[in-house]
Every structure is written in structure tokens, then in C-alpha cells.
Structure 1
Amino acid sequence: MARSGQLDALLEDRRVNAGIGWALLAFVAVATLESVLDTDWVWVVISAFVVVLAALPAVIYRSARVMVPWEVLLLATLPMLARSLAGPGTLGQVAAYLSVAAVALIIAVELDVFTAVRMTTSFAVVFVVIATMATAGSWAVVQWLSDIYLGTTFIYPTSPPVGPAVDEAALESLMWDFVAATAAGLLGGLVFALYFRERSDTRLTPLGASGEGK
């Protein structure tokens, strides 16, 4: 894509943001390698999505300086750090949903900043929440099908069939997972609404807007 004078001006003011952003992506890449070594494929997928989405603007505009706000990437890396410290369990599961919300947040920010798409505050919140809940729901279905047909123990403590009490306990745990996913999505949406929408005009002027870059 040909670079315009406006893009040159935008890139010139984004060196610090890009530097911090690439440093955070390097951390995510290391976390991805760790997840591969641990055969933790859920985190491998999440980390890979973060890397691909964050690097996409630089690839499209052919410049390493075009990067989403580093604060967005920080939100995506914090759950990975929490996962490394917490390991498997409830906190690790919540961290996974926070990372999913961060991925949805990255998508929302990139659409709003780097394309002609404009999101209202309410729509951005709804987008991030629904994307996080949809991911959690899809993953729950995959886990349940795996337990039923492959004999895994993602949802149930033992391979099915299980008794009514075990089935009820697993269902309750799954419902709390959905609560955690909803809370994570709300947090991501509110971050977009309260912070990035206010600063997007001064930090990252949309490339398609008229006038000179900030």
C-alpha cells in the first residue's frame, strides 16, 4: 500500500508506541513457545491470535511503526502473565477469558482506528462482550463433545458416563465459567469505552480521516 504524507506524519509520531508494542509482542511470542512446550493448546491459539492481529497493521501498511496502542497489547499480555503465575485452575481460566476479551478489544480498536468503520461506545462494549461470550460458549461445546465422544475430562472429572451429582457439579462450574467470560468481556468493552475512544483522536488519527496526522 502506497504511503501518503498523512501516513508518514502518523508514523513519525508513533515510534515510542511501536517500540513498546513490539516489545510486548516479543513477550507474547515467548509465552506462545512456553505454551507449546506445555502442550497447552488453548493458550497457543490465544497467543497466536494476539501476535497475528497486533502485527497485521504493520504488515498491511508495510511499516513497523503502525501499531495498535501499546496499552491494548498490555491488556492482552497481563492475563498471560497471570496464567504463567497461577497455572491451571479457576484463576487460569479467568485469565484465558480476559485474553479472549483482549483479542476482541484489539479487533475493535483496529477496526475503529485503521479502517473507515466507526464504533459507538455502546456498540463497542456489546461487540467485545458478545465476542467473548461466543468464544466461551463455542469452547464449552467443543470440550463437552470431546468428553462425550473422546473420553476426555475437560468438563467432567472422569470420563462419561457420570452420575447426576457429578453432572450437576460440572454444569454449575460451566455456568460460572460463563459468568467469568461475561465479566471479562464487560471489562474489555468498558476499557474501550472509557479510555481508547477518548484518546484515539490524539494518539492514532484514522488513516482515512481528512487533515494532517496528529
Structure 2
Amino acid sequence: MTQRSSRMDALVEDERVNAGLGWVLVVFLFAVAVASLLRADFLWAIFTGFVFTLAVIPPLAYRNAEAMLPWEVLLLAALPVLGRALATLALTTRVATYLSVAALALIVAVELHVFTPVRMTHWFAILFVVIATIATAGVLAVIEWLSDVYLGTTFIRSEQLLMWDFVYATVVGIVAGIVFELYFRRVAPAQARLPSDLQEQIE
């Protein structure tokens, strides 16, 4: 059991494996963004395109293809996108929205923690992800409202449902903050996925 666990740790922490899996997910996000744009699903095209942009900023900034976010973070962002694309129930699509918002906040937190000198205390790390999730939900609400006004969509059905969206986003944000603190800072530190020379450069 211990040997199997060590093999999994080595697989997760290897920078080449992490970069390879990360780039596969980045290509998937790009394809979904293009497909959403072609279907005139502008809100999800913007969201997926934004996730794609955040994912490619580190490799472009450091000019190193292995300077990639942990693949688990990108997977968390990709799963809600895929779930929404395959969903047939409205509830499922709303859950996908909350998870996507939290995943986006998680990406921002991990990028700050890994690729900048910024270091957060335990409680502030959780608080940051929660606040970033709520703020992202607010930005999405404004985009939905603008879409309803100028494009004739019906994203916002009532003010009450909109307020519940913020409640759900807050709950999911708390879960995402705990995941960030317990997993990406303690169990599988994201810095371990980077090449040693890049780690020295960031520090």
C-alpha cells in the first residue's frame, strides 16, 4: 500500500507529467471555448476562454512549457464545463456554474501562491478563495444581466434566484478554500510540480 502511494505521489509531483496533463486540459478548454462561441453561447465562451487564458499565463510569462498549474486545478475547472455541456437538467447546469466559479477562484489562488512571492496564512488562504469566488460570481451576474438586456437572453429569471446563486457560490467557495489549504498547500504542494530552476527563479 505504501509503495503504491509513493508511486502516485511521484506521478503527481513529476513536472513533465503535470505539464503534459495540464496541456491536454488546456487544449480541451480551448476547444470548448471555440465550440461555445460557434453555438452563440457567449457567457460560457467567455468563461472558458478566461480559464484558458489564466492557464497559459505562467508558461508564456516564464517561457517554459513546464511552468503549468497543477493538473488537478485545471481538471476541477474542466469538469463543470464538461458537465454543463452534457447536462439536460437546469439544476445540473446551475451546479456546474457554482463549481466553475469556485474553480476559477481556485486557479487565481494557486497561481498567486505558486508563481508569485505572495504567501498566505492558513486562514487568509481560505478567506481569499471564498472572497474570490463571491467576486467572480458577481462579475458573472453582471455579464448575465448585460446579456439579458442587450442580447435578449434569460439568464437572470428573478432577483431571489440571483441571491441564492450568491449563497451557493459562497458555500462552494468555502469548500474550494479548504481544498486549496489542505491539498495544494499541504498534501501535494503545487511548487513541487515545477522544474527546480523555475522554483529558484520564483523564490
- TM norm structure 2: 0.80
Distance (Å, rounded) in 2 between the aligned partners of 1:203 and 1:36: 36
Aligned to 1:86: 87
The amino acid across from 2:179 in the alignment is: V
Distance (Å, rounded) in 2 between the aligned partners of 1:129 and 1:106: 12
Distance (Å, rounded) in 1 between the aligned partners of 2:141 and 2:49: 20
The farther-off stretch of 184-193 and 138-147 is: 138-147
Contact 2:105 2:136 in 1 (8 A): no
User: How far has the Cα of 1:143 moved from its partner?
Assistant: 4.1
Aligned to 1:200: 189
Q: Deviation string for 1:109-151 (max 9, x for gaps)?
A: 1111111100122212111111111222343345456657886
Contact 2:69 2:190 in 1 (8 A): no
User: How far has the Cα of 1:74 moved from its partner?
Assistant: 0.7
Contact 1:115 1:207 in 2 (8 A): no
Task: Tell whether 2:162 aligns with 1:181.
Answer: no
Distance (Å, rounded) in 2 between the aligned partners of 1:84 and 1:200: 31
Distance (Å, rounded) in 2 between the aligned partners of 1:38 and 1:150: 14
Larger Rg computed on CA atoms? 1
Higher helix share: 2
User: How far has the Cα of 1:187 moved from its partner?
Assistant: 2.1
The farther-off stretch of 15-24 and 115-124 is: 115-124
Aligned length: 186
Distance (Å, rounded) in 2 between the aligned partners of 1:140 and 1:88: 20
> In the superposition, relative to structure 1, how do residues 172 and 29 fare at CA in structure 2: closer, same or farther (>3 Å)?
same
Aligned to 2:43: 42
The amino acid across from 1:192 in the alignment is: F
Other structure's SS at 2:75 match? helix
Distance (Å, rounded) in 2 between the aligned partners of 1:32 and 1:209: 31
Task: Tell whether 2:128 aligns with 1:127.
Answer: yes
Other structure's SS at 1:64 match? coil
The amino acid across from 1:200 in the alignment is: P
> In the superposition, relative to structure 1, how do residues 33 and 120 fare at CA in structure 2: closer, same or farther (>3 Å)?
same
User: How far has the Cα of 1:196 moved from its partner?
Assistant: 0.3
> In the superposition, relative to structure 1, how do residues 62 and 172 fare at CA in structure 2: closer, same or farther (>3 Å)?
same
User: How far has the Cα of 1:58 moved from its partner?
Assistant: 0.6
The farther-off stretch of 16-25 and 26-35 is: 26-35
Contact 1:104 1:131 in 2 (8 A): yes
Q: Over aligned residue pairs, what C-alpha RMSD do you find? A: 2.5
Distance (Å, rounded) in 2 between the aligned partners of 1:23 and 1:149: 35
Q: Runs in 1 of length 4+ with deviation above 6 angstroms? A: 148-151
Distance (Å, rounded) in 2 between the aligned partners of 1:37 and 1:209: 39
Contact 1:83 1:91 in 2 (8 A): yes
The amino acid across from 2:48 in the alignment is: S
Matches within 5 A, 1:1-214: 13-87=14-88, 89-144=90-145, 153-156=154-157, 170-198=158-186, 199-200=188-189, 203-204=192-193, 206-208=199-201
Contact 2:22 2:68 in 1 (8 A): yes
Other structure's SS at 2:128 match? helix
The amino acid across from 2:110 in the alignment is: V
Contact 1:76 1:99 in 2 (8 A): yes
> In the superposition, relative to structure 1, how do residues 95 and 142 fare at CA in structure 2: closer, same or farther (>3 Å)?
same
